[in-house]
């Protein structure tokens, strides 16, 4: 079987999975409808306080990150660890490739990774 045929087969299987997921969601919605009022009341009770706690957590996390960055070292408590990572070094590969003609020794520092394949929806 060629790749195009396999892609078509994969698309068909993915479509079948989508149909099954839709059917499952519809049945789930019917079941949940019987308790939806209780779920809505639960949301009203917890959403406000939960949002406040999450907002404070986000503020505190930002403060911690800023302080750890300023200190330049990881900090560990009994339950959490703020891990400091040194800045990553990157190189402009286009410039280096141009320099290869002048300095062929640069080739020794070059590493070539493996190719990869991603399957996407055709447009």
- Domain extents in the chain: 3-85
Residue 81 has phi, psi (to 5 degrees) of -135, 115
Q: How many residues does the chain have?
A: 123
48 CA to centre of own chain: 27
CA distance 115 to 68: 37
pLDDT of residue 110: 86
Quote the tokens at residue 23: 């059917």
Per-residue model confidence (pLDDT) at position 122:
84
Structure tokens at 73: 């070292």
* Model pLDDT for residues 34-68, shown as the tens digit of each residue: 999 999 999 999 999 999 999 999 999 999 999 99
- Residue ranges in the chain modelled with pLDDT below 50: none
Instruction: Enumerate residues 6+ apart whose C-beta is below 8 A from 39.
Output: 32
How many H helices and E strands in the chain? Answer: 3, 2
Q: Which helix (H) or strand (E) holds 37?
A: helix 36-71
Measured distance between the N- and C-terminal CA atoms of the chain, rounded to whole angstroms = 24
Distance CA(66)–CA(34), nearest Å, equals: 48
pTM, 2 dp? 0.63
Residue 91, pLDDT score: 87
């Amino acid at each position: 079987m060629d790749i195009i045929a396999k892609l078509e087969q994969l698309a068909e299987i993915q479509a079948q999975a989508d149909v099954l997921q839709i059917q499952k969601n519809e049945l789930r919605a019917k079941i949940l409808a019987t308790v939806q009022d209780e779920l809505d009341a639960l949301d009203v009770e917890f959403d406000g306080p939960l949002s406040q706690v999450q907002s404070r957590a986000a503020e505190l996390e930002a403060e911690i990150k800023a302080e750890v960055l300023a200190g330049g070292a990881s900090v560990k408590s009994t339950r959490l660890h703020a891990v400091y990572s040194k800045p990553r070094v990157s190189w402009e590969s286009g410039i280096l490739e141009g320099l290869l003609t002048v300095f062929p020794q640069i080739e020794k520092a070059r590493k070539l990774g493996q190719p990869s394949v991603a399957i996407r929806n055709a447009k």
